[in-house]
């Protein structure tokens, strides 16, 4: 394992990212996703073992996923929770049994020491028996509360970490299972969400849990306890990444490594664009934009916790551990404000034309990405309210129905909005026969109808250029839109201005992959 800085480099000093630096000691936190644990467990063990030669390692694991996320342990557990809501029907029994046999078979396939295997099987059986009791209790109460749902999904991370702990011990690397179910002692409800002090205190507590493992490798559940309001509701499915980030902060780690099944962050999706190139480094704001507009990088809030502590994040490939990956860290670490939201201070500029000509920015954007499953809502005002009232009413309705807008374009009487929805519309027998499946979207459309005429455009996608100082690249917007037009790709909406580092437009979903390739070819591959 390698890391980002060495013992003699000051933590606020920018270093070259082209080469990884070895640490003589100190913590490196490694986060592994469910697919990596499910398919490449032995690779993970090898990565950890190699890293122990130069660093102390703490690993955080998501719930196992052998094939697809849909069939992953967390989704199975959520289905079990929904089954428990059905009275007089134990539909969850088969789900729990499938999870149990899957984990036991995985252990039998890889563990060689019979004592370690027997202990592992006992642990799996105990976790599954506990899971059934939780589901039975929820069914008896005829309600799966936030607390109960959290306890149910926590079993996925527990089983995954018991699996990895057994593998490491089986290979002669002393490891210790660390269960974070009870690490949060705060029970009072929190109005307006969780505050910075909560995460600061939690990071310190996680650091103590890791220190208690002594010389053993801590294998830490990505689930971390009784979070006010419920873990899924308060944080969402990215809680494992956040846990790893807080462990890194709590241990004052030299680096947080997020291991995936790709080499790092690319200029485009390498599965769709053969000429996509690996980026050795990106800034946190660039990574945040790429995540929001379709690339699975790391959640911006998770990045914020780590970058504020001046800890670099490295994205690496579990199948290719020798590759240096991509480092996420500001160009100017000295500009990091421990209290302010994450952003690159150097991006803020005046409107002076002379300043723009003096800046020596990059010749090309950092990356191009696609966000699928977009629906465009066009609202034409009935002119019963003034312009500011029109916009206020629109956003009030969207807030009421828990809908967020990806892009917006507005005038005094017309607003176009691009919204992301996995199950927005279902095509009927003809082109005009669409049924809105999402209850929230249907409710919003009904309420918006009181403000004016509604026009819905389904099956769209957002193509976005991302890059620091993108606004300073004179003519980049023209080249971007011209490339799409020259390839007969129609643009439904355009957005530039809300972000200093993003230019986006909405196109038809069926053209998304072709747009990705033509933009990358013209603005990345052959742009001098």
- Residue 36 belongs to a domain: yes
Which structural domain range is residue 204 located in?
27-253
The residue among 344, 378, 394 that closes a domain is 344
Question: How far apart are alpha carbons 376 and 477 in whole angstroms?
Answer: 22
DSSP 359: -
- Residue 404 belongs to a domain: yes
- Residue 354 belongs to a domain: no
Task: Tell whether 143 and 2 lie within a shared domain.
Answer: no
Task: Tell whether 113 and 215 lie within a shared domain.
Answer: yes
Cα 129 to Cα 96, 134, 274, 333, 508: the distances in Å are 9, 9, 47, 49, 49
Question: How far apart are alpha carbons 410 and 390 in whole angstroms?
Answer: 11
pLDDT for 165 equals: 98
Q: Give 421 or 191, the one with higher predicted confidence.
A: 421
Task: Tell whether 191 and 327 lie within a shared domain.
Answer: no
Task: Tell whether 276 and 239 lie within a shared domain.
Answer: no
Q: Give 420 or 297, the one with higher predicted confidence.
A: 420
Task: Tell whether 207 and 294 lie within a shared domain.
Answer: no
Task: Tell whether 226 and 301 lie within a shared domain.
Answer: no
Q: Give 431 or 231, the one with higher predicted confidence.
A: 231
pTM, two decimal places: 0.83
Question: How far apart are alpha carbons 483 and 520 in whole angstroms?
Answer: 10
Task: Tell whether 482 and 447 lie within a shared domain.
Answer: yes
The residue among 253, 277, 299 that closes a domain is 253
Q: Give the strand order in the sheet containing 405-410.
A: 405-410, 414-420, 367-381, 452-466, 502-508, 493-496
Q: What is the CATH number of the domain that holds 394?
A: 3.30.2130.10
Quick: pLDDT tens for 19-35: 444 434 689 999 999 99
DSSP 350: -
pLDDT for 475 equals: 86
Res 211 pLDDT > 60: yes
What DSSP letter does each residue of 166-194 carry, written as one string?
HHHHHTT--EEEE--TT-----S--TTS-
Res 18 pLDDT > 90: no
Task: Tell whether 37 and 166 lie within a shared domain.
Answer: yes
Task: Tell whether 181 and 266 lie within a shared domain.
Answer: no
Question: How far apart are alpha carbons 133 and 363 in whole angstroms?
Answer: 60
Task: Tell whether 249 and 270 lie within a shared domain.
Answer: no
- DSSP percent split of the chain into helix, strand, coil, nearest 5: 40, 20, 40
Question: How far apart are alpha carbons 265 and 295 in whole angstroms?
Answer: 9
Quick: pLDDT tens for 228-276: 777 777 787 788 999 999 999 999 999 999 999 999 999 999 999 999 9
Question: How far apart are alpha carbons 221 and 46 in whole angstroms?
Answer: 20
Task: Tell whether 104 and 222 lie within a shared domain.
Answer: yes
Q: What angle do CA 236, 443, 411 make, to 5 degrees?
A: 95
- Residue 360 belongs to a domain: no
Handedness of CA 306, 310, 311, 316 (dihedral sign): positive
Q: What is the CATH number of the domain that holds 229?
A: 3.40.1160.10
**Counted domains in the chain:** 3
The residue among 215, 232, 253 that closes a domain is 253
CB atoms within 10 A of CB 405: 14
- Residue 155 belongs to a domain: yes
Structure tokens at 81: 């929770």
- Residue 78 belongs to a domain: yes
* Greatest Cα pair distance in the chain: 76
pLDDT for 118 equals: 98
Task: Tell whether 67 and 186 lie within a shared domain.
Answer: yes
Question: Are the C-beta atoms of residues 242 and 194 closer than 8 Å to each other?
Answer: no
- Residue 362 belongs to a domain: no
Contacts of 265 (CB under 8 A, 6+ apart): 278, 279, 282, 287, 290, 295, 297, 315, 326, 328, 367
Structure tokens at 252: 């004052």
- Residue 520 belongs to a domain: yes
pLDDT for 528 equals: 46
Candidates 486, 496, 400; CA nearest to 448 is 400
């Amino acid at each position: 394992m390698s890391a980002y800085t060495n013992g003699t480099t000051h933590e606020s000093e920018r270093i070259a990212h082209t080469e990884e630096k070895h640490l003589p000691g100190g913590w490196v936190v490694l986060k592994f996703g469910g697919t990596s644990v499910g398919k490449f467990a032995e690779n993970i063990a090898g990565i950890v073992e190699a890293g122990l030669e130069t660093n102390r390692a703490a690993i955080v694991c998501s719930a196992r996923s052998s094939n697809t996320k849909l069939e992953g342990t967390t989704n199975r557990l959520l289905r079990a929770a929904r089954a428990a809501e059905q009275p007089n029907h134990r539909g969850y029994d088969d789900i729990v049994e499938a999870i149990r046999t899957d984990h036991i078979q995985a252990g039998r396939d890889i563990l060689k020491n019979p004592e370690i295997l027997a202990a592992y099987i006992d642990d799996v059986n105990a976790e599954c028996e506990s899971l059934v009791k939780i589901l039975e209790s929820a069914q008896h109460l005829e309600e799966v509360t936030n607390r109960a749902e959290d306890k149910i999904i926590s079993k996925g991370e527990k089983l995954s970490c018991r699996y990895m702990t057994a593998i490491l011990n089986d290979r002669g690397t002393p490891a210790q299972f660390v269960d974070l179910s009870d690490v949060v002692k705060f029970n009072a409800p929190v109005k307006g969400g969780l505050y910075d002090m909560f995460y600061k205190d939690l990071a310190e507590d996680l650091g103590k849990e890791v220190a208690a493992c002594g010389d053993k490798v801590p294998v830490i559940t990505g689930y971390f306890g009784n979070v006010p309001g419920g873990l899924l509701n308060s944080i969402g499915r990215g809680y494992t990444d956040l846990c790893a980030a807080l462990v890194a902060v709590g241990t004052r780690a030299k680096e947080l490594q997020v291991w995936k099944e790709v080499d790092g962050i690319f200029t485009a999706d390498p599965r769709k664009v053969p000429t996509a190139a690996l980026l050795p480094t990106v800034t946190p704001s660039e990574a945040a934009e790429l995540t929001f507009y379709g690339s699975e990088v790391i959640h911006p809030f998770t990045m914020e916790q780590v970058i504020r502590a001046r800890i670099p994040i490295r994205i690496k490939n579990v199948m290719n551990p020798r590759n240096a990956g991509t480092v996420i860290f500001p160009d100017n670490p000295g500009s990091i404000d421990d209290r302010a939201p994450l952003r690159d201070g150097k991006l803020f500029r005046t409107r002076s034309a002379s300043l723009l000509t003096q800046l020596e920015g990059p010749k090309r954007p950092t990356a191009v990405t696609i966000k699928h499953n977009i629906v465009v809502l066009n609202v034409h005002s009935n002119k019963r309210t003034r312009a500011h009232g029109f916009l206020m009413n629109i956003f009030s309705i969207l807030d009421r129905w828990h809908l967020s807008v990806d892009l917006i374009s507005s005038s005094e009487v017309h607003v176009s909005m691009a919204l992301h929805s996995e199950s927005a519309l279902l095509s009927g027998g003809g082109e005009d026969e669409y049924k809105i499946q999402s209850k929230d979207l249907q409710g919003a459309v009904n309420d918006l109808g009181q403000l004016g005429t509604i026009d819905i455009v389904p099956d769209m996608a957002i193509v976005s250029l991302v890059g620091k100082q993108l606004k300073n690249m004179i003519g980049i917007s023209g080249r971007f839109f011209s490339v799409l037009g020259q390839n007969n790709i129609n643009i439904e909406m355009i957005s530039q201005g809300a972000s200093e580092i993003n230019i986006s437009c909405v196109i038809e979903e069926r053209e998304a992959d072709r747009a990705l390739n033509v933009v990358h070819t013209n603005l990345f591959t052959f742009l001098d």
